[in-house]
Amino acid sequence: QKEVEQNSGPLSVPEGAIASLNCTYSDRGSQSFFWYRQYSGKSPELIMFIYSNGDKEDGRFTAQLNKASQYVSLLIRDSQPSDSATYLCAVKGLTGGGNKLTFGTGTQLKVEL
Amino acid sequence: KAGVTQTPRYLIKTRGQQVTLSCSPISGHRSVSWYQQTPGQGLQFLFEYFSETQRNKGNFPGRFSGRQFSNSRSEMNVSTLELGDSALYLCASSLRDGSGEQYFGPGTRLTVT
């Protein structure tokens, strides 16, 4: 079982719709959860992080965390073509301390006109 | 505030050679992590440095090494290059120790021929 799992996609949504990206993790002791956006040929860009169960909203983005189910999701409202990218879920576990992140393989999102 | 910078941006090397990559973190950030990104394996953690000390190490052979200087700049070295080392090498810096919140540089694209 992979430590962080994401559906590779592509996930296609029409412009203006809600895109829902999901991630599960195996380390029950994981503390912090991050969503990065990566455009083709570019480096990952941090867009959201969440530490506590529940929802966290920032503009069009909402991160949702359910530690009991070991599940993190990212909702993108009013999706735009510029949101087309690969979204990486990353998890910081308990072991080792520091800032080490374990990444999923990413979900490719395509927002269609 | 300037972001994370990495040099060089592109590099072509021959099998058996060695390479040194450089990373300057965001001003004030003392934690620097290195990741390797390949199409097959995704983003994989190499190592993390904090206050000139290696704090975490990923599952990579000893050919991969790094160091951090007193000004928080970091270098990573790969000796005896193999074709499989061709990848995007990403450096990320973090302000808050242990938060996992990391900001990536543009990466160094290494091609081994």
pLDDT score of A94: 72
- Give pLDDT < 70 ranges for chain A: 1, 95-96
Top residue of A27, A86, A100, A105 to mutate, by most chain B CBs within 10 Å, is A100
From the list B43, B106, B107, the residue facing A103 with the nearest CB is B43
**Cis amide prior to B8 (ω within 30 degrees):** yes
Give pLDDT tens digits for A73-105.
Answer: 999 999 999 999 999 999 998 766 788 999 999
pLDDT score of B99: 82
DSSP state of A42: S
Nearest C-alpha of chain B: how many angstroms from A29?
14
pLDDT score of A98: 84
Determine, for residues B56 and A105 on separate chains, whether the beta-carbon distance falls below 8 Å. Answer: no
Nearest C-alpha of chain B: how many angstroms from A85?
15
Mean pLDDT per block of 10 residues along chain B (113 residues) reads: 94 98 96 95 94 92 97 97 98 88 97 98
